[in-house]
């Protein structure tokens, strides 16, 4: 529990309207998009500037209260859930874009800016911020940086990490840290910025972010390819990459996903097909033409059932938008959607699909698979009911077996959603006890009292 003096202190610094204690508010700020996870904080604060973030952190430090950062709560590993109660600090009201620097091609914004808002603001100036997680219309940049979010364009343009140039943050001891800058090169000391990206809110609270911008591609071509067998789709992805073509997007949806998405968007997706690939090549017009021909040829060679080309930018955008709804649309058919984030070397895609098919049968489950195929990043999603204990057990067994093989292939248990609470037990399996020990020493160095976002990444035994 938090003492009244601490609360009063917060009210003095942030104003009454930004310090929330009503039970109904607390209840709805203890979840994110991860199924089955919920915890209730004791208090929620909405800072509107860096100084206020610092004040809150100092209160947490002085009163030894756990403090958990939250963006928009779209995380898929439970990162923003206050497992030990305490303070939830919502950054969503820090949503100002501070600067778009057209000379240096950078944008600087507060941590609570919504990803799509930044994209639109820079696009209006003829610039391009590529990272586009499926949740872009509501996820915050702070959340993106902390999870190192990927997106539909990851294959060619990389993930959030590749665009972060500078961060301003508040450390658990209440001090400020500024790392990185607008210069494109910087080797002064340890690369804190790179350490902070993907740290899931366990090392510092980010208040300000400077990202790199690039000129948008001049031209693009969007394909929709249908397959009678999902393994052929996997093969197509591997072959396109082996042909040294790097499309900006190569997304996959299996039959279950196609049907759920079509139920929602109603744009005529092929319900009877085993899988589809959404492929986009972009860049200089001459290169687009050449790569488009290559993609088309390979699709024919491997035996795609049908290949369509989007007739205009609008159709291409509607296809990407449809793909972004995949996860939420899968949630139509069952009360619980358990989603995973397995990532394999791309040459193993066809085998991974075969494995998912086999395990689905073995554990008698309904699974919808979609994901960033071009990145080897798949989201096999078990459609289940959290009230059915046996089904949940089978679902977990499914993932255990899947991950064992994914790791054996040199893959990772999390391509982009982070470890959070949901994947703690797999971390040691992947990086070994030595790796975990170093990570913990880093955490210790930043947060000796363990007040910042406790209960994440490491299992209790590891802590």
Partner 1 sequence: MTDKKKLGNFTSENAPEYEDVLQCMRCGFCLPTCPTFSLTGRERSSPRGRVALARAVSEGKLEFTEAVKEEAFFCLDCRACTTACPSGVRAGEVMEICRSQAHQFFPLKHVSKSFREFVLQKMLPNPGLLETSMLPARLYQKLGIQWLVRHSQLLKLGPEWVDKAERMIPELHPPLRPQLADVIPAEGEQRGRVAFFLGCIMTLMYPEVSRQTVRVLTHQGFEVVTPKEQKCCGAPHLTEGDRDTTKLIAQHNLDLFMALDVDAIVTDCAGCGAALKEYEELLEEAGEHDKLATFRGKIKDVSEFLAEQGLRTEDLKPVEKIVTYHEPCHLCHAQGISKQPRELIKAIPGIVFREMEEASWCCGSAATFSLKYTTESQQILDRKLENVQATGAELLVTANPGCHLQLAWGLKQAGLKQEVVHITELLGMAVSG
Ligand X SMILES: Cc1cc2nc3c(=O)[nH]c(=O)nc-3n(C[C@H](O)[C@H](O)[C@H](O)COP(=O)(O)OP(=O)(O)OC[C@H]3O[C@@H](n4cnc5c(N)ncnc54)[C@H](O)[C@@H]3O)c2cc1C
Is 24 an interacting residue with respect to partner 1 (CB under 8 A)? yes
DSSP secondary-structure letter at 370? E
Radius of gyration from C-alpha coordinates of the chain: 22
Binding mask 77-106 for partner 1 (x = CB under 8 A): ---------------xx-------------
Residue 58 near which of ligand X, partner 1, none (CB within 5-8 Å, type-dependent): none
Distance between CA 49 and CA 15 in Å, rounded? 12
Near partner 1 by CB under 8 A, which window of 28-36, 251-259, 388-396, 430-438? 28-36
| Contact (Cβ atoms closer than 8 angstroms) between residue 41 and residue 30 | yes
CB of 86 to partner 1, least distance (A): 18
430 Cβ neighbours under 8 A, 6+ residues apart: 407, 412, 413
Binding mask 79-98 for ligand X (x = CB under 6 A): xx----------x-------
| Footprint of ligand X on 238-297 (CB under 6 A) | none
Number of C-alpha atoms within 13 angstroms, CB side, residue 24? 0
Distance between CA 343 and CA 411 in Å, rounded? 5
| Contact (Cβ atoms closer than 8 angstroms) between residue 140 and residue 111 | yes
For partner 1, which residue of 7, 19, 31, 164 counts as binding (CB under 8 A)?
31
CB of 25 to ligand X, least distance (A): 16
Is 15 an interacting residue with respect to partner 1 (CB under 8 A)? no
What count of other Cβ atoms lies within 10 Å of the Cβ of residue 324? 20
Binding mask 264-283 for partner 1 (x = CB under 8 A): x-------------------
Binding mask 191-230 for partner 1 (x = CB under 8 A): ----------------------------------------
CB of 313 to ligand X, least distance (A): 21
* 88 or 373: CB nearest partner 1: 88
* 114 or 292: CB nearest partner 1: 114
192 Cβ neighbours under 8 A, 6+ residues apart: 167, 177, 179, 180
Residue 235 near which of ligand X, partner 1, none (CB within 5-8 Å, type-dependent): none
Residue 337 near which of ligand X, partner 1, none (CB within 5-8 Å, type-dependent): partner 1
Is 35 an interacting residue with respect to ligand X (CB under 6 A)? no
Near ligand X by CB under 6 A, which window of 14-22, 127-135, 269-277, 301-309? 127-135
Written as six digits, the tokens of 2 are 């938090």
| Footprint of ligand X on 186-205 (CB under 6 A) | 200-201, 205
Distance between CA 116 and CA 267 in Å, rounded? 23
Give the DSSP letter string of 146-161: HHT---TTHHHH--GG
For ligand X, which residue of 106, 135, 257, 412 counts as binding (CB under 6 A)?
135
Give the DSSP letter string of 238-290: HHHHHTT---SEEEEEEHHHHHHHHHHH-S---TT-SEEEEEEEEESHHHHHH
| Contact (Cβ atoms closer than 8 angstroms) between residue 57 and residue 67 | yes
Residue 281 near which of ligand X, partner 1, none (CB within 5-8 Å, type-dependent): none
* 29 or 127: CB nearest partner 1: 29
Residue 85 near which of ligand X, partner 1, none (CB within 5-8 Å, type-dependent): none
Distance between CA 115 and CA 357 in Å, rounded? 34
Near ligand X by CB under 6 A, which window of 133-141, 220-228, 254-262, 349-357? 133-141
Written as six digits, the tokens of 362 are 């073995």
Binding mask 326-365 for partner 1 (x = CB under 8 A): -xxx-xx--x-x----------------------------
Distance between CA 141 and CA 401 in Å, rounded? 34
Near ligand X by CB under 6 A, which window of 62-70, 99-107, 245-253, 380-388? 62-70
* Alpha carbon 126 to chain centroid, angstroms: 26
Written as six digits, the tokens of 246 are 């790097």
Written as six digits, the tokens of 452 are 């910042």
Number of C-alpha atoms within 13 angstroms, CB side, residue 108? 13
Q: Tell me how many residues contact partner 1 (CB under 8 A).
A: 33
Near ligand X by CB under 6 A, which window of 19-27, 63-71, 265-273, 422-430? 63-71
Is 153 an interacting residue with respect to ligand X (CB under 6 A)? no
Residue 453 near which of partner 1, ligand X, none (CB within 5-8 Å, type-dependent): ligand X
What count of other Cβ atoms lies within 10 Å of the Cβ of residue 80? 31
DSSP secondary-structure letter at 352? H
DSSP secondary-structure letter at 215? P
Q: What is the dihedral of CA 435, 439, 445, 446, to 10 degrees?
A: 170
**Site residues for ligand X per CB under 6 A:** 32-33, 68-76, 79-80, 91, 111, 133-135, 139-140, 142-144, 146-147, 149-151, 200-201, 205-206, 327-328, 416-417, 453
């Amino acid at each position: 529990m938090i003492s009244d003096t601490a609360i009063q202190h917060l009210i003095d610094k942030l104003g009454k309207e930004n310090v929330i204690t009503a039970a109904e508010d607390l209840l709805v700020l203890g979840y994110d998009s991860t199924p089955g996870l919920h915890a209730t904080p004791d208090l929620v604060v909405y800072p509107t500037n860096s100084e206020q973030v610092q004040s809150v952190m100092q209160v947490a430090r002085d009163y030894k209260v756990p403090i958990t950062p939250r963006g928009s709560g779209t995380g898929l590993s439970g990162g923003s859930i206050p497992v030990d109660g305490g303070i939830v600090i919502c950054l969503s009201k820090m949503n100002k874009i501070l600067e778009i620097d057209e000379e240096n091609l950078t944008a600087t914004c507060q941590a609570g800016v919504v990803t799509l808002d930044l994209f639109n603001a820079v696009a209006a100036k003829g610039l391009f911020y590529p990272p586009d997680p499926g949740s872009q219309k509501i996820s915050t940049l702070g959340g993106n940086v902390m999870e190192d979010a990927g997106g539909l364009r990851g294959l060619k343009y990389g993930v959030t990490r590749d665009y972060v140039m500078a961060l301003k943050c508040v450390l658990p001891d209440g001090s400020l840290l500024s790392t990185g800058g607008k210069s494109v090169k910087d080797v002064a000391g340890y690369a804190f910025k790179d350490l902070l990206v993907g740290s899931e809110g366990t090392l510092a609270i980010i208040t300000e972010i400077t990202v790199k911008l690039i000129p948008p591609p001049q031209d693009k071509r969007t394909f929709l390819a249908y397959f009678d067998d999902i393994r052929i789709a996997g093969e197509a992805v591997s072959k396109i990459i082996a042909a040294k073509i790097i499309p900006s997007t190569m997304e996959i949806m299996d039959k279950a996903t196609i049907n759920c998405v079509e139920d929602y968007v109603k744009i005529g997706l092929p319900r009877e097909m085993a899988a589809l690939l959404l492929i986009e090549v972009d860049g200089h017009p001459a290169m687009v033409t050449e790569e488009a021909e290559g993609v088309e040829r390979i699709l024919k060679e491997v035996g795609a059932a049908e290949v369509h080309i989007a007739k205009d930018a609008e159709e291409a955008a509607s296809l990407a938008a449809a793909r972004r709804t995949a996860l939420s649309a899968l949630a139509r058919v069952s009360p619980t959607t358990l989603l995973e984030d397995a990532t394999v070397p791309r040459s193993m895609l066809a085998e991974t699909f075969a494995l998912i098919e086999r395990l689905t049968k073995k554990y008698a489950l309904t699974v919808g698979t979609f994901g960033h195929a071009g990145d080897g990043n798949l989201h096999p999603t078990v459609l289940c009911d959290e009230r059915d204990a046996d089904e949940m057990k089978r679902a977990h067994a499914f993932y255990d077996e899947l991950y064992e093989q994914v790791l054996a292939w040199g893959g990772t248990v999390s391509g982009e959603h982070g470890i959070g609470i949901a994947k703690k037990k797999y971390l040691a399996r992947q990086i070994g006890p030595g790796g975990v020990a170093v990570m913990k020493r880093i955490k210790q160095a930043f947060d000796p009292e363990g007040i910042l976002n406790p209960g994440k990444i490491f299992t209790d035994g590891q802590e």
